[in-house]
Chains A and B, each alone.
Chain A
C-alpha cells in the first residue's frame, strides 16, 4: 500500500484551522448580536446582581468586542461552552449526553440510503429509457420536492397508525428498542437522501456504461452483469462518496427537523428547544459542534477518496 499518498492527511488539518476559527467567530458574532444586555440574556431569569457580575467577568462582557472574542476562545479551549439555562448543566456535557441518538440517526440514515439508492440506480442505469428507469426518475423528482417532515408524518400514518408496526415517537431504552424506534426516522431521511443519491449515481453509472474501458471490457467477452459489477460500479462509487460528503450539511439539517417530528432526544431537538427557550449557550454550542462535525466529515471524505481512487495524489 502506497502510504505516501496519504501524506496529505498530515498536512490538511492545519489548513482546516482557519475554517474552524471562522466557525467560532461566526458563532460568537451571532450570540453577541442578541439585542439587549448580553449578560441578562445569557442568565435569563437567574439574573441576580452577583450572577451578572460573575458572568460579565467570565466572558469579559465589559471589554471591547475583540477582547471578548479572546475570552470566548479561551473558554472554548477549556471545554467551557457555557451553562444551559433550561437544564442547568454545562452545555458541553448536555451535548455529549445527547449526541448518541443523533449519531444513530445520521449513520442509520446514510446506511439505509445507500441500501436503497444503489439497487435503484443500478436498475435505472441498466434499463435506461425503459419503464423501470422512467418510474425511478419520477420517484427521484418527486422525492426531491418532498418535505422530510411531511414524509415522516405520512410514514407514521401508514406504518404506525394504520399498521401499528413502529412506535410513533421517542427513543427507547434497550438497543433493540432503540433500533425499533429509529426505523421510521432513519427511513424518512434515507428516502429523502436516496432521491439525491439515485439521481447522481444513475448519471455516473450511465456515463461509465459508455466509457471506453467498459467497451474494452465488453470486447473481452465479459457479460453485462460482470461488466457492471467489476467496472461500472466501482468507478461510479468514487463520486458518490464525494456527493455524500457535500450533502452532509443538508443531512444534518434534516435530522434537526426529524428529531423534532419524532421527539428524538438528540442534539437537533436540543437546538430547537434552545431557540424557543432562549437558551443561547446551548444554541451556540450545538451550532458549533454541528459545523465542526461537517468539516470533519468532509475531511474524512477526502481521505476516503484517496483510499478508493489510486489516481488521486493529494499533496
Chain B
C-alpha cells in the first residue's frame, strides 16, 4: 500500500518567534550599517573635535549646541560617541576575527586528526573554559599591560576555544560523511579534504555564532575599558566614557548615559542580525 505523507502546509507555519527571520536580520544589518557609516564618516559628521577641551563649557546638559551635553573637560559627548564608534566597531570585529581563525584552524585539525592530539586539545579547551572569561583576560592583560593591542592578544588567547569546539564537533560528523569518503577514494590528500571539502560545510554554524559572539566581545571590550585596562584616555571609547561619567552621575547624568546607549544599540544590531540569520538558516534546513 503506497502512501505519501501529506506535508500539511499548515505545519510549516507553526514557528515560534518573529515571523520573518529576514526582517529581523534586515533590522540588525541596518543598525550595523548606520554605525559603520557614522564611524567611517566621523570626521565629517561629528560636530566637534572629540578630544578638544574647553573648560568654559564643561558639564553642560543636553541642548541644541551639544545634543548629548559636555563632559567635565568641556568635550562634546556626541562627537565622542561618534568617534568612539570607530574604536568599538573595530573592537567587536577584530576581537571576533582572530579567535575565529585560530579556533577554527585548531578545532578543524584536532577533529580531523583525532587520537591523542585531539584528546590533548580537548583537555586544553576544558582548562581554558574553566576560567571565567573576563578573569583570564584580565590576568593576561595584567602581564601585557593596558591597551587595545593587549586586548586583541588576550582575546585571541582566550576566545579561540568556543570556535574550536564548534568546528571540531562539525568536522567529527562530516569526516564520516559520504562525500568525504568519496574525496578520499579519489586520492585527495588530507589537507585538501579538510580545507577544501569539509571546512566550507562546517563553517555555517561558526559564522552564525560569530555574530552573536560579536555582542559578547563588544561588551567585554567595553567592560575592560571601563575597568581602565583597555583604551587609554584621551581616546574616546564608549566603555571608558562610561567610567569617566560615573564620578559625575549625581550632577551630570548624560556623560555616562549616552555612550552606554550606543553600546546597547550596536550590540542589538549584532544580536538581531545573528537571530535573523539563524532563523533563516533554520527555515531552510
Contact = CB atoms under 8 A, between A and B. Distances in A.
A275 B127 contact: no
B135 A147 contact: no
Interface string A277-305: 01010011011001110110000000000
Q: Is the interface of A mostly helix, strand, loop or mixed?
A: helix
Contacts of B227: 257, 260, 272
A294 B132 contact: yes
A240 interface: no
Contacts of B257: 153-154, 157
Contacts of A19: 123, 126-127, 130
Given A147-B263, A272-B227, A23 B140 contact: no
Contacts of B229: 275
A123 interface: no
A30 B139 contact: yes
B38 to A, nearest CB: 17
A150 B135 contact: no
**Residue picked from A34, A145, A256, A274, most chain B C-beta under 10 Å:** A145
Contact residue range for chain B? 35 or more
Contacts of B139: 27, 30, 275, 283-284, 287
Interface string B195-234: 0000000000000000000010001101100111100000
Interface string B118-146: 00000110111111111110111111000
Contact of B132 (A30, A154, A249): A249
B128 A26 contact: yes
Interface string A145-158: 11111100110110
**Residue picked from B18, B130, B263, most chain A C-beta under 10 Å:** B130
9 contacts: A23-B131, A25-B127, A26-B127, A128-B16, A145-B215, A150-B260, A251-B132, A256-B138, A276-B228
Interface of A: 18-19, 22-23, 25-27, 30, 33-35, 128-129, 134, 137, 141-142, 144-150, 153-154, 156-157, 161, 203, 206, 248-254, 256-257, 260-261, 271-272, 274-276, 278, 280, 283-284, 286-287, 290-292, 294-295
